[in-house]
Structure 1
Amino acid sequence: MTVLHARTEPRPLWLGTSWKMTKTLAESRAYVEELGHTVVPEGVQAFLLPPLTSLHVVLDALPTGSPVLVGVQNAHWGPDGPMTGEVSMTQVRDAGAQVVEIGHSERRGLLGETDEMVAAKVAAALDAGLVPVLCVGEPWSVRSAGRADAYVADQVRSALADVDPDDVSRVVVAYEPVWAIGEGGRAAEPADVVGVLDAIRGAVADLAPGVRLRALLYGGSVTTENATDLLDLDLDGLFVGRAAWTAAGFTALLSLGGRAVDRRDELSSTHQPRSR
């Protein structure tokens, strides 16, 4: 007798980068044209978040049919109106964005974004058909006090409070400890990450039982030296800063991502029940 076992569709491994406030139009085009010679490994979902000024240049420079998703680093939660200097989710979607970064610690800490603002942006992004990349993470004072798990779980619950449980599956969460971000950040050890990832999953399970996030990523002082160890954790990819600010750097990380996918496929096939 032959027993058929249904195989779970493999989840893509996400690798993306935010360029923050860097790159002119010419620099953006040169980056993408160089990246255009790279084949994104099968099973890897690449994404780029250029500054808003370069969105159209990046979209135009990508080869036709490119699998790379392109987005923006911020947008307002309101549909329109007197918000000088802001752009709405609908406007960035209309301009070609597919992804929007929300709640980065720099915006929370330096620009005063509250949990309520972050939650409104997540809901607005979903309404506009964008993929929200929700950034969460604790400062060192919280980490050193042993409260990182609870702190980040609360951020997740707050940010997804206005999201229908079924729509939680459309959200990408990027865990980025504040102390690991930026030029002065220090890389987290895998042991620093695992507990918080579990806490995020627990918070999601509380809000939407049986629903998985679209992806759960890690970001913060990611380099080609530590990416492999991080990718071997139980997560869905990496959100990278400076190490991916050159096309060569991003290409190297994509290659590492492809190898991680291969390792996961090998592990999956090893544990796949055999027919009998």
Structure 2
Amino acid sequence: MRKPFIAGNWKMNKDSAGSVELAAGLAKELKDVDSVDVAVCPPFVYLQAVSNAVSGSPVKVGAQNMYFEANGAFTGEISTDMLKDVGCTYVICGHSERRHVIGETDELVNKKVKAAIESGLLPILAVGELLEEREADKTNDVVKTQVTKGLEGVSADDILKVTIAYEPVWAIGTGKTATPDQAQDVHAMIRGLIAELYSQDVADKIRIQYGGSAKPANTAELMAQPDVDGLLVGGASLKVEDFSKMIKTVA
């Protein structure tokens, strides 16, 4: 049985006071939740404060990005040791906004995934297709390539440290959501691919989240799908009431 995992990606939102208020509110609301893994991913500059605010609660902290080198002359970048130093457990690698706005490649994302694992962080590998790719019936090809290249060199011993997050790019921040059947189809394809790359046992254990306009209203039907093991939540994670409601629905 795969334990559900709900993570909130705050993206470039909130200020210092608002981040602490949100984190503290979630810690209070979710203090008794133990059947769901929960994480919040605030902007870099608020990681320390958010980590302090959720200390002692079931809520873990993740970063939205990282660099694959341990240290050095990489202006503007953040290392895995820095993230761990301020309380991070998870890190998102390859979010679609990093890929399609910033220009990150599969090869760069793969370096980040491996560096995260090596450092002791748990990577969330985000994958997903553009609208034109879905309309051209290329969803499976695109996602297979992103998963395969993103996990290249990740050993059978380490693969279960990775969570895969399927986020159709056309559903991120648009209010559009993949139907439960659409989500399930891609999640099942990813699980089958993991069985090919590793083993059926690994495929049965790895967690695959859905992301893309997930909200309280669609949480139950998305999570009812047999291969949807969690959610990577954007806008709805910015409100204590909405995000805690989603987690309690799953719990």
Segments of structure 2 that go 5 or more residues without pairing to the other structure are none
Equivalences for residues 235-250 of structure 1 within 5 A: 235-250=228-243
**Does 2:142 correspond to 1:151?**
yes
Q: Which residue of structure 1 lines up, in the alignment, with residue 129 of structure 2?
A: 138
Shift of residue 42 of structure 1?
A: 3.2
> Any residues of structure 2 matched to 1:246-261 within 5 Å, and which?
246-258=239-251
Whole-Å Cα distance in 2 between the matches of residues 63 and 139 of structure 1?
37
Q: Which amino acid aligns with 1:243?
A: A
The residue identity in structure 2 corresponding to 1:255 is K
Name the amino acid aligned to 1:251.
Answer: S
Any runs of at least 4 consecutive aligned residues in structure 1 with deviations exceeding 3 A, and if so which? none
- Which of 55, 61, 70 aligns to 2:61? It is 70
Alignment map for 1:16-95 (pairs within 5 Å): 16-39=7-30, 40-64=32-56, 66-95=57-86
Deviation at 1:214, TM superposition (A): 3.8
SS of residue paired to 1:211: helix
Q: Which stretches in structure 1 are left out of the alignment for 5+ residues? A: 1-9, 259-276
Match of 1:15 in 2: 6
- 1:106 pairs, out of 78, 97, 110, with 97
Shift of 1:84: 0.5
CA RMSD of aligned residues (A): 1.3
What SS class does the counterpart of residue 38 from structure 2 fall into? Answer: strand
Give CA-to-partner distance per residue, 1:210-243, whole Å, 9 cap, x none.
3235411000011111111001012211111111
**Would the aligned equivalents of 1:17 and 1:48 in 2 still touch at CA under 8 Å?**
yes
Query: Does the 8 Å contact 2:5/2:36 carry over to 1?
Result: yes
Structure 1 CA distance for aligned equivalents of residues 118 and 140 of structure 2: 29
Q: Percent identity?
A: 38
SS in 1 for 2:99: helix
Output the CA distance in 1 between the equivalents of 2:152 and 2:175.
30
Q: 1:233 — aligned with what?
A: 225
1:171 aligns with 2:162: yes
Q: How far apart are the structure 2 equivalents of 1:244 and 1:194?
A: 22
Letter in 2 for 1:204: I
Separation of aligned partners in 2, 1:112 and 1:35: 33
Q: For the residues of structure 2 that align with 1:42 and 1:92, how far apart are their CA atoms? A: 24
Quote the offset at 1:185 in angstroms: 4.3
The 1:222–1:229 alpha-carbon spacing in structure 2 relative to 1, beyond 3 Å, is: same
- Between the aligned partners of 1:162 and 1:89, the Cα distance in structure 2 is 19
The alpha-carbon deviation at position 150 of structure 1 amounts to 2.1
**Which one-letter code corresponds to 2:220 in the other structure?**
T
> Structure 2 length as normaliser, TM-score?
0.94
Aligned residues: 247
Counterpart contact for 1:18–1:49, Cα < 8 Å: yes
Residue in 2 that maps onto 1:129: 120
